[in-house]
Amino acid sequence: MAKRAMKAHQGAGITPVEFHILLALVDSDRHGYGIMQQVAGDSGDAIQLGPGTLYGALARLLEYGFIREVESGVDPALDDSRRRYYRLTAAGRTAAGAEAQRLAGVVKLARSRQLTLRAQEVAAHDL
């Protein structure tokens, strides 16, 4: 875990799915289904996590210490079964912040090279 977690702390080692899961946990603790719905909503349904993908990513984030499991509870909106809830840790907040900063830098670079404008010009030319 060490090498990848260190890279993740610097904002260069977490995948888009892991980043979206961390984002989903910024506001509140959530259970698996809650995370899945939040990620789908945040990404405009571009990222739809299945159970295997979601819990594989949660296992890695737990291993890195970016999230932790909190006391399980019942979600009355769903059913009466107990569910595991996950919470963002300080390290996870730092990693997500670093990744957000990295992405902001990429967007800034793209704008500085007028990538968006060029894309619009190409689209207009194609029409």
Binding site for another protein (CB under 8 A): 15-18, 32-33, 36, 39, 46-60, 78-81, 83-84
49 vs 110: CA distance, rounded Å: 28
Nearer to another protein, 47 or 100 (CB): 47
7 vs 14: CA distance, rounded Å: 8
Nearer to another protein, 81 or 112 (CB): 81
Residue 31 CB, shortest distance to another protein, in Å, is 8
Nearer to another protein, 51 or 114 (CB): 51
Counting Cα atoms < 13 Å in the Cβ hemisphere of 91 gives 14
Query: DSSP alpha helices (H): ranges in 10-89?
Result: 16-24, 32-42, 51-64
Residue 119 CB, shortest distance to another protein, in Å, is 21
